[in-house]
Amino acid sequence: MPELAPYAVSEANSRGRQHADSQPVQRTEFQRDRDRIVHSTAFRRLEYKTQVFVNHEGDLFRTRLTHSLEVAQIARGIARALRLNEDLAEAISLAHDLGHTPFGHAGQEALNACMRDHGGFEHNLQSLRTVDLLEERYAAFDGLNLCFETREGIVKHCSLAEARRLGDVGERFLNRTQPSLEAQVCNLADEIAYNNHDLDDGLRAGLLTLEQLDEVPLFAEHAADVRAQHPAIGGRRLIHETIRRMINALVCDLITTTASNIARQEPEDICAVRRAPALVAFSENLGEAQRTMKRFLRAQLYEHYQVRRMANKARRIVSELFDAFTADVRLLPPQYQAPADADRSRRVADYIAGMTDRYAIREHRRLFAVGEG
């Protein structure tokens, strides 16, 4: 492993943990964070939480778990090339979706609407709440007691009102400073992963076609190169080879552009990184290519009538579960039954957000379908 750059996060410059903890043996503090995340209940649940397609729609579509693993792989490679802390980048990547609801963004939108009068719901903040409070694994503290830099990296964005309630993790939003470079890498590794892999899943589902994608410059460029080099190629092999090259091009561009930004800014340490503008970035050309692909996916995949049908079902399931549980707290498992109305709503949101797709469907049937129990 290359020596860390002076502006990378290290154990020496870390702000540590909220609760005093024993020193890890034969691993770093950030390896410990990664390990705690991987062994958490919330991480295991990601296997059955939607990325775009609901879990029961097919075995080969991405889930939140496979997405998180893909983000971690991309982020770790970028971090190594830039001499950043790979273990921190991996830990943030693996934790960034721990608070996501069942049914992807449709579930989040529905739960946010339900919580409108109770502080709202946002999955980044729920991920932090999960690692700070909801995981029950240790005798001495609630949550996972992760390092500050891991916790900070989980929160990609939040309102100023929310930032004021987050304490140390919210400081950068109030001060308008940057997170660590490792956190910045994870943000864009997430974007690389979900753009390319949602595209792959859309093709696999038959909701996108190669003819449509030949109108998307980033895909068209690499698909043309593949066809030129391998004239007989087709089917899944053409798709995989093209997407592989797209990811490689984006990662290499990100590394080159970021290295140039770092060289120009010359940050001496992590404090200088925080004061600088965002340094992890794509070049202008690749950045615009990414944005074009995002617009294409929004119009042609996320708004596809079949995806919208499932999203509509998901919103109804989440909303009806929320209404039922808040109307009669006795329907909740005992650990989620809170007496105060405001706290009750948040605990109901915690319960629903922790559900997998199939568990939410099953709970909805138990409550509303005659003959289910």
Q: Are 251 and 78 in contact (CB under 8 A)?
A: yes
Q: How confident is the model at residue 337 (pLDDT cuts 50, 70, 90)?
A: confident
Q: Tokens standing for 345?
A: 């709503």
Mean of pLDDT values over 46-69: 75
| pLDDT at 291 (0 to 100) | 95
Q: How confident is the model at residue 278 (pLDDT cuts 50, 70, 90)?
A: very high
pLDDT at 302 > cutoff 60: yes
| pLDDT at 239 (0 to 100) | 95
Q: Which residue has the tokens 């596809």?
A: 304
Q: How confident is the model over 153-200, as pLDDT tens digits?
A: 999 988 898 999 999 999 999 999 999 999 999 999 999 999 999 999
> Pick from 1, 37, 268, 25: which is nearest to 144 by CA?
37
Give the Å distances, CA to CA, from 39 to 29, 54, 225, 323, 352.
Answer: 15, 24, 42, 32, 21
Neighbours of 41 (CB within 10 A): 13
CA distance 291 to 306: 24
Q: How confident is the model over 58-112, as pLDDT tens digits?
A: 455 788 999 999 999 999 999 999 999 999 999 999 999 999 999 988 999 999 9
CA distance 126 to 109: 13
Give the Å distances, CA to CA, from 40 to 64, 127, 222, 356.
Answer: 14, 12, 39, 15
Burial 137-164 (b: 16+ CB within 10 A, else e): eeeebebbbbbbbbbbbbbbebeeebbe
CA 63, 67, 70, 76 torsion-angle sign: negative
| All structural domains of the chain | 29-307 (1.10.3210.10)
Q: How confident is the model over 213-272, as pLDDT tens digits?
A: 999 999 999 999 999 999 999 899 999 999 999 999 999 999 999 999 999 999 999 999
Q: In the 8-state DSSP scheme, what is residue 299? A: I
Helix 235-265 to helix 181-205 angle, to the nearest 10 degrees?
A: 160
Where would I find the H helices in the chain? Answer: 29-38, 41-45, 64-81, 86-95, 104-114, 123-129, 148-154, 160-165, 171-175, 181-205, 210-213, 217-229, 235-265, 270-275, 284-297, 305-327, 341-353, 357-368
Q: Are 207 and 199 in contact (CB under 8 A)?
A: no
Q: Are 125 and 155 in contact (CB under 8 A)?
A: yes
CA distance 242 to 223: 5
Q: How confident is the model at residue 54 (pLDDT cuts 50, 70, 90)?
A: low
CA distance 24 to 13: 17
Mean of pLDDT values over 338-345: 68
User: What's the whole-model pTM score?
Assistant: 0.94
CA distance 151 to 266: 26
Q: In the 8-state DSSP scheme, what is residue 51? A: S
CA distance 40 to 144: 8
> At CA 10, angle to CA 4 and CA 16, rounded to 5?
175
Instruction: Specify the DSSP element, H or E, that contains 103.
Output: none
Q: Tokens standing for 142?
A: 């609630």
pLDDT at 369 > cutoff 90: no
| pLDDT at 255 (0 to 100) | 98
Mean pLDDT taken over the chain: 92
Q: Tokens standing for 244?
A: 């592989």
Q: What percent of the chain has pLDDT over 70?
A: 95
Mean of pLDDT values over 24-39: 96
pLDDT at 340 > cutoff 80: no
| pLDDT at 342 (0 to 100) | 54
Q: Which residue has the tokens 């400081």?
A: 171
